[in-house]
Amino acid sequence: MAGITLLFASTNLIIKLQKMSKKNYFFLGLINTAIIFALIFHTSCSSNSMTDEDKLLGSWLRSDGNYTITITEVVDDGKLVAKYFNPSPINIGKAGWRIISGKLQVYVELQDKNYPGSLYQLDYDEKTNTLVGTYYQAVSKQTYDVMFEKVIN
C-alpha cells in the first residue's frame, strides 16, 4: 500500500511541475542567474582587494631616517598587526587599514613615552610601492610629510 501511495504522490508532483507555465520557468532561471552573477562578483571583488591589502605585508623604512614600520598581518576587519622601530621598539596603540575612494590607507597610532597619540596616516602608492602621508608628533604638536619605502629582502 505504501508503494502505491508513493507512486501516486510522485505522479502528482510530476503533473504539477508540467503545469508550471513557461513564465515561471523564466523567472526561476532569471533568479538563479542573478544569484550566480552576485556570487562571482563578490568573489572577484574580495580576491582583488585582498591582493592589494597583502601588499602592505613586510617592513617599510622611512626615507628621512631609521624609522621602520613592520606589518606582519592584515586582518579582514581593518586591523593591522604591526611593530614600529625608531630604531628601538615603540609601542603601537592602534594600527589599521581601510580603502577610501579607491585608495588603500594605513594608520598607525603610537602609545609610548614621548609618543602618546603620535599618528601616521599613509596612502599606499602602487606605482612606487611606497606609503606616503603625514606623521603627527603629538608632544611637539607638529605634522610632517613622510614617505616609507618597502624593504625588499
Residues in the chain, pLDDT under 50: 2-11, 13, 17, 27-50
| Full strand arrangement of the beta sheet holding 130-137 | 89-90, 80-85, 68-74, 58-62, 142-150, 130-137, 119-125, 103-110, 92-100
pLDDT value, residue 153:
75
Write out pLDDT tens, residues 87-108: 999 999 999 999 999 999 999 9
Q: What SS3 state is found at 31?
A: helix
DSSP string covering 58-78: EEEEETTSS-EEEEEEE-TTS
pLDDT value, residue 136:
98
pLDDT value, residue 73:
96
CA distance 99 to 105: 6
Alpha-helix residue ranges (DSSP H) falling in the chain: 2-19, 22-54
Alpha-carbon dihedral 69, 147, 129, 57, rounded to 10 degrees: 10
Cell numbers describing residue 12: 502528482
Closest CA to 121 of 113, 103, 112: 103
pLDDT value, residue 108:
98
Note if the pTM is more than 0.85. no
pLDDT value, residue 31:
44
The number of beta carbons lying within 10 Å of the beta carbon of residue 69 is 23
